[in-house]
Structure 1
Amino acid sequence: MRLLVLGTGSMAKSQVSHFKLIEGVEVVGAVDTDPSRLAEFSDHFGIEKRFLAIEEAIAWGDFDAATNVTPDRIHHPTTMALIAAGKHVFCEKPLAENYADALEMTTAAETAGVINMVNLTYRNVAPLQRAREMVLAGELGTIKHVEASYLQSWLVSRAWGDWRTESRWLWRLSTGHGSNGVLGDVGIHILDFAAYGAATDIDHVFARLKTFNKAPGGQIGEYLLDANDSFTMSVDFANGALGVIHATRWATGHLNELKLRIYGERGSLEIIHRPNGSQLRGCFDENIETATWADIDVAPVPTNYQRFVEAVATGKQLDPNFRHAANLQKVIDLAIVSEKERRELNLLSEEVGMTPGPEGAGNVEVLPIAV
């Protein structure tokens, strides 16, 4: 597979490092609007073909697939151009800034018949895959309750850099620079983590978002710091289970931690994923009486990168695909509406609706997410 890299920032470096380890993958070109960044990236990975615009790369055309690692708001126009050129696309999350754009990308990719996948990176967590298998096999019985959290601390820690001075963090705090805050940035990850791990669809969501004051006047230079820092979400699942999902960038002591707890009538599972590794624990059988949890061994799983390469090679679409990511974006869009309206909203069609429900009610209804 001849691969084009669109965008050459830090995530692109991580992606290419993974792709280059896969047999049969050749990174043949790179695109970036910043000449110096493009040169540094291409020199580092030994990439000969370099382009300052996606149009130049498409005119050249000597590639089979592209990985789109541009900023969020650039995903839609560049991916649409790649699809129109008949190229397979591996896109960073979120798929788009809103559901309408994500759905347009999905429809275009499906109509063109190109392989389309989204890099929901925590699908690479083997305990998550094993937990889903156990749920689907009925080992927990009927799922009753789900807890999921995504905790980061980069607003109180400089472990990843200083957001006060670095544009790569500041843009994530500003809606004017294309950010939907922690909800748009990592919300898609924890929504997928919860729904995929619990193997059941999300039916309803009721959300609260919070933006905390971080600088005098709420602004640093050109960046108005108005994107949400924390969110909480109450959800109903299609199987009747109740769920609580939340995320924040103010979680002192948690650099980057995802946690999922799945409670069933016959047992429970807990997944914890941190930068230094992940863990799966369960409470089953006689351990239920003493509330004793035991570690569960987990085998390695293919990464998203490996699955994308396999999909391109075989022509068989694999998950997570654009449609799934678009459905997650629908939930995110409705969570934002939920916060603004502070009342029940009903989605009566596949379009994201904003029809108010009864006065004082507190639910946002969405169509089920296929997992």
Structure 2
Amino acid sequence: MRLLILGTGSMANSHAKNFAEIEGVTLAGAVDVDPGRAEAFRAEYGIERAFTSLEEALAWGDFDAVANVTPDSIHHATTLQCIAAGKHVFCEKPLAANYEDAAEMADKIEAAGLVGMVNLTYRNVAQLQAARKLVTSGQIGKVRHVEASYLQSWLVSKMWGDWQTESRWLWRLSKKHGSNGTLGDVGVHILDFVVYGTDTEIDEVFCRLKAFDKAEGNRIGEYELDANDSFTMTVSFTNGALGVVHSSRWATGHVNELRLRVYGDKGAFEVVHRHDGSKLLVCLGDDVETAVWKEVEVEPVATNYQRFVEAVKQGKTLEPSFRHASRLQKAIDLANITESDRREHRLTA
């Protein structure tokens, strides 16, 4: 498979490194509007050619698939161009800025018979995939209650850098700069963590959002600090379960942690994924009566990068697909609406 990497920002490095390690993949091209960045990226990863526009790359056309690592707001337009040119697409999350655009992308790539997958990176957590099997095999019985959280501490710690002085963080705090806050940035990750881990879909949502005071006048230079820092969400699922999902950038002591607790009528599990490792804890069988939890060791799983390559080889889309990502975006869009009208919304209406 010959691959074009569209966009050469920080996440593009992960794409280049991971795809380069897969047998049968050739990094054919790289695109960036800045000629210097495009050439530097090309040289660093031994890519065949560099381009300063997608149009230029598509006119050349000597590639099979595109890793779309452009800014969130232009995923829609650039992906539609790639689909029109007959290219498979591996898109960074979120798939689009809103449900309508995401659904159009899903419709068009399916109609074209092309592979469209989204890099929801926490599918790479082996413990989450093992936990899902506890649900699909019936080992924990009927799922009744779900708790999930995504906790980060970069607003109270400089471990990732100084958000007060670095544009790569400040834009995430400003609606004017295209940010939908914590909900838009990591909401898609934790919602995918939940629905994949529980083998179900979201039915109804109600969400509260909060942007806390962070600077004088809540402004630093050109950045208005008005995007949400935290959200709390109540969720009902199509399998009948009820859940709570929350996230914050003010989670002191948590660098980057996803946690999922799922309770069934026969057993339960907890998945914890942190910057320094992951764990799967289970309470099953006789241990249910004594509330004993045991850690389960799991084997590594294929990454999204590897699965995209396999999907292109098979000519069949694997999950997480554009269609799945569009459903997650619908939940996020409705969560934003619930903050305004203060009432629950149903996705399936």
1:83 is aligned to 83
* Aligned-partner Cα distance in 2 for 1:271–1:45: 35
2:92 is aligned to 92
What is the CA deviation profile of residues 193-245 of structure 1, one whole-angstrom value per residue up to 9, with x for unaligned ones? 01110111211111000111212222222222111110000001112111000
* Aligned-partner Cα distance in 2 for 1:38–1:216: 38
- Aligned residue for 1:280, secondary structure, equals strand
Deviation at 1:289, TM superposition (A): 2.3
What is the CA deviation profile of residues 22-80 of structure 1, one whole-angstrom value per residue up to 9, with x for unaligned ones? 00001011001122322222221122311111111111111100001111101111111
2:211 is aligned to 211
CA contact (8 A) 2:27 2:48 kept: no
2:160 is aligned to 160
Equivalent positions of 1:264-303 (< 5 A) are: 264-303=264-303
1:223 is aligned to 223
Does 1:7 find its partner at 2:10? Answer: no
Does 1:364 find its partner at 2:334? Answer: no
CA contact (8 A) 1:259 1:271 kept: yes
CA contact (8 A) 1:97 1:178 kept: no
- Aligned residue for 1:108, secondary structure, equals helix
1:354 is aligned to none
* Aligned-partner Cα distance in 2 for 1:46–1:266: 53
2:17 maps to amino acid: S
What is the CA deviation profile of residues 125-175 of structure 1, one whole-angstrom value per residue up to 9, with x for unaligned ones? 111111111101100011110000000011111111111121111111111
CA contact (8 A) 1:11 1:69 kept: yes
2:47 maps to amino acid: I
Deviation at 1:21, TM superposition (A): 0.8
Does 1:177 find its partner at 2:177? Answer: yes
1:355 is aligned to none
1:183 maps to amino acid: L
Deviation at 1:365, TM superposition (A): 1.2
Task: Please identify, of 246-255 and 161-170, the stretch whose mean Cα deviation from structure 2 is larger.
Answer: 161-170
1:349 is aligned to none
Equivalent positions of 1:245-324 (< 5 A) are: 245-324=245-324
2:325 is aligned to 325
2:237 is aligned to 237
* Aligned-partner Cα distance in 2 for 1:147–1:304: 25
Deviation at 1:291, TM superposition (A): 1.4
Aligned residues: 349
1:187 is aligned to 187
Please, which runs of 5 or more residues in structure 1 have no aligned partner? 344-362
2:345 maps to amino acid: V
% identity of equivalent residues:
64
Please, which runs of 5 or more residues in structure 2 have no aligned partner? none
Equivalent positions of 1:32-111 (< 5 A) are: 32-111=32-111
1:366 maps to amino acid: L
CA contact (8 A) 2:206 2:345 kept: yes
TM-score normalised by the chain length of structure 2: 0.98
2:28 is aligned to 28
TM-score normalised by the chain length of structure 1: 0.92
* Aligned-partner Cα distance in 1 for 2:138–2:48: 51
Deviation at 1:82, TM superposition (A): 0.6
1:144 is aligned to 144
CA contact (8 A) 1:54 1:78 kept: yes
Moved beyond 6 Å, runs of 4+:
none
Deviation at 1:272, TM superposition (A): 0.3
Deviation at 1:94, TM superposition (A): 0.2
* Aligned-partner Cα distance in 1 for 2:36–2:262: 47
1:16 is aligned to 16
1:367 maps to amino acid: T
Task: Please identify, of 253-262 and 279-288, the stretch whose mean Cα deviation from structure 2 is larger.
Answer: 279-288
* Aligned-partner Cα distance in 1 for 2:170–2:15: 22
1:353 is aligned to none
CA contact (8 A) 1:72 1:179 kept: no
* Superposition CA RMSD, Å: 1.1
CA contact (8 A) 1:280 1:297 kept: yes
1:264 maps to amino acid: G
CA contact (8 A) 1:205 1:364 kept: yes
